[in-house]
Amino acid sequence: MVKVIMGPKGTGKTKRMIELVNKAVNDESGNVVCIEKGQNLRFNVKYSAKLIDVSEYPMVLSYETIFAYICGIYSGNYDITHIFIDSLYKITGDDDDAKAEAFLEKLEKFSQASGIKFTIMISAESENAPEGIKKFF
């Protein structure tokens, strides 16, 4: 399952993401991971969630890199039940909707194979999103 939370800045996406991460920590039996760029969520997310600041790692960020990174995280811990991605366009450095659509499709296939749920936040106008992204709302 892949779910997208999308909207412009200032619409409560981060607050919603924090609530969802903390709920997943309480309700799910496996490990919860939250990938972000920077440390925006550090003090608001429960300590039992694994927070990963991708800017701490020496890699060129892109959709392909983030997908490979997620695969690597999972290969090291098969007990992950949910991965949250805070600000996909900020993490990848790319707001190309076509690339985001392809990434979400790849994640959906990976989710079906692994059983991991994904929740991704995108800062952009949801009304302007292409159908390939809207189907994950």
Q: Supply the range of the domain harboring residue 81.
A: 2-134
Beta bridge partners of 36: 53
Number of domains making up the chain: 1
Give the whole-angstrom CA distance, residue 22 versus residue 64. Answer: 28
What's the gap between Cα 125 and its chain centre?
Answer: 18
- pLDDT value at position 126? 93
Give the whole-angstrom CA distance, residue 104 versus residue 67. Answer: 10
pLDDT category of residue 130 using cuts at 50, 70 and 90? very high
Taking the model in full, what pTM does it have? 0.95
Rg (CA), the chain: 14
Q: What angle do CA 137, 56, 68 make, to 5 degrees?
A: 50
- pLDDT value at position 42? 85
Q: What is the pLDDT of residues 8-65, one digit of tens each?
A: 999 999 999 999 999 999 999 999 999 999 988 888 999 999 999 999 999 999 999 9
Q: What is the pLDDT of residues 73-124, one digit of tens each?
A: 999 999 999 999 999 999 999 999 999 999 999 999 999 999 999 999 999 9
Mean pLDDT estimate for the chain: 95
- pLDDT value at position 33? 98
CATH of the domain at 128: 3.40.50.300
